[in-house]
Amino acid sequence: RPESTGMMRSAGRRPSEADPGQGGHGAGTVQAQHLTFTAWCNSHLRKAGTQIENIDEDFRDGLKLMLLLEVISGKLDYYDSHNVNTRCQKICDQWDALGSLTHSRREALEKTEKQLEAIDQLHLEYAKRAAPFNNWMESAMEDLQDMFIVHTIEEIEGLISAHDQFKSTLPDADREREAILAIHKEAQRIAESNHIKLSGSNPYTTVTPQIINSKWEKVQQLVPKRDHALLEEQSKQQSNEHLRRQFASQANVVGPWIQTKMEEIGRISIEMNGTLEDQLSHLKQYERSIVDYKPNLDLLEQQHQLIQEALIFDNKHTNYTMEHIRVGWEQLLTTIARTINEVENQILTRDAKGISQEQMQEFRASFNHFDKDHGGALGPEEFKACLISLGYDVENDRQGEAEFNRIMSLVDPNHSGLVTFQAFIDFMSRETTDTDTADQVIASFKVLAGDKNFITAEELRRELPPDQAEYCIARMAPYQGPDAVPGALDYKSFSTALYGESDL
């Protein structure tokens, strides 16, 4: 039927493609045709229980167009309507099949999407936990291999305690490792069970399970090595502590002993207990006791040698070092030897100048009274005060200063600024010895000189000990008598000056 065929062609043509010669050329004509055709289509589609609103959109997928053709073909008794209906039905069946496949595909894709999301979430969780665990293992390996330097048993015990605390965390760390690996295995399981081929490694981290297991195995190997190193160091520090205590025990005895002996020797030299011979005997007993004590110092030296070999630099158990002990010991030996020599010189002075024991004690009492610091020597002001107490006119005037300077030149010829007790005795003995003693000395020199009025340096060196000979030679004035010979010395002026009867 011509009208049906034309209508079919019109139904397949978009209104905008209508022949511009039919129905006018204006936009209103096109719109009218569009509405008319839409109304005509809906009049037929109502029988199929549907309608269209927009031809371009509603006919786009072809379903409503097929319904329209089906209704028209049945109504118009198209001669090939059966084939058309069959073909339409086939198309509808294919569309339904396509819809079912689309639905299945959508469900499969949605399921796969959820599985990929689950895998992605597991990868993210793995990365969040693997990163800090990996950092912890790296830090642990660094600490386990770190060199340690300790000097006391307390320090090594602190390291051992910290290491034990670290080892106590290993079970929890192992459980964390297993949990992290379980996350990775779960992601793999989901992928394998659903035939999902993952594109590569975890996109959120480069820390693989192999890396985690490798570092964990390294930590497990380093722990017993660290145990062994700490135990070795602990044994070493225990040995060092024993050496410290051993040295301190001996040093805390030897040090005070030396100090006590120094103080006792000082008291003996200052206090006037008994005669000078008694003091000398007492000092020599001290000297013997000091010599007998030397093995204790030798033992301390041996212990100090062990401490040096062990590289021990401090000892909290004593304030004494070996250097302090050595210096104290040398000072003790020097002090006892000097004190013995001083007492021997005092005895010689006393005997040579006829000083009584009572006078010696008076000299010592005066000297000690002004020796405020008990140092064994008087400073210039202390010596001046001592002289004033003894009746010397050395006040702070011109004449007194001159007299004091004269006396200081006698007792301190080297200008050291100190007056020793020996120099004090020599001065006081010259001041208190009578002229008979000077005459006796002159007589003695005359014998040495072969009855001459002068004496020579060669004769003095031949007859006197070296130190006494040089002392006399340095202080004797040249002899000026008519019988003088080259190098003649005046022993008479020297003898009188020695006992304070004139100036040297």
- Whether the per-residue pLDDT at 121 is higher than 90: the answer is yes
In this structure, the strands spanning 377-378 and 419-420 are: antiparallel
* 3-class DSSP state of 453: coil
* 3-class DSSP state of 40: helix
CB 233 within 8 A of CB 158: no
pLDDT tens column, 153-177:
899 999 999 999 999 999 999 999 9
- Whether the per-residue pLDDT at 462 is higher than 50: the answer is yes
DSSP letter at 274 equals S
**What does the pLDDT read at residue 259?**
93
Write the CB contacts of 119 (distance below 8 Å, at least 6 apart in sequence): 187, 190, 191, 196, 198
> pLDDT grade, residue 393 (50/70/90)?
confident
Structural domains of the chain in order of their starting residue, each with its CATH number: 35-74 (no CATH), 115-234 (1.20.58.60), 243-342 (1.20.58.60), 354-413 (no CATH), 438-499 (1.10.238.10)
pLDDT tens column, 50-86:
888 887 777 777 777 877 877 777 665 556 767 877 8
- Rounded to whole angstroms, the Cα distance separating 475 from 457 reads 11
**Rounded mean pLDDT of 401-409?**
84
Angle at 273 between CA 269 and CA 279, to 5 degrees: 50
- Rounded to whole angstroms, the Cα distance separating 474 from 494 reads 10
Of the chain, the percentage scoring pLDDT greater than 90 comes to 37
| Residue listed under structure tokens 């034309």 | 6
**What does the pLDDT read at residue 13?**
43
Q: Tokens at residue 147, please?
A: 């060199």
Tell me the C-alpha to C-alpha distance, in Å, between residue 268 and each of 42, 273, 331, 428, 446: 144, 8, 16, 21, 39
The residues that bridge with 455 in the sheet, in sequence order, are 489
**Rounded mean pLDDT of 127-131?**
95
- Whether the per-residue pLDDT at 26 is higher than 70: the answer is no
- Rounded to whole angstroms, the Cα distance separating 423 from 425 reads 5
- Whether the per-residue pLDDT at 436 is higher than 60: the answer is no
pLDDT tens column, 92-117:
888 889 989 999 999 988 888 898 89
pTM: 0.53
CB 29 within 8 A of CB 37: no
Q: For all residues of the chain together, what is the average pLDDT?
A: 83
- Whether the per-residue pLDDT at 232 is higher than 80: the answer is yes
Helix (H) or strand (E) holding 419: strand 419-420
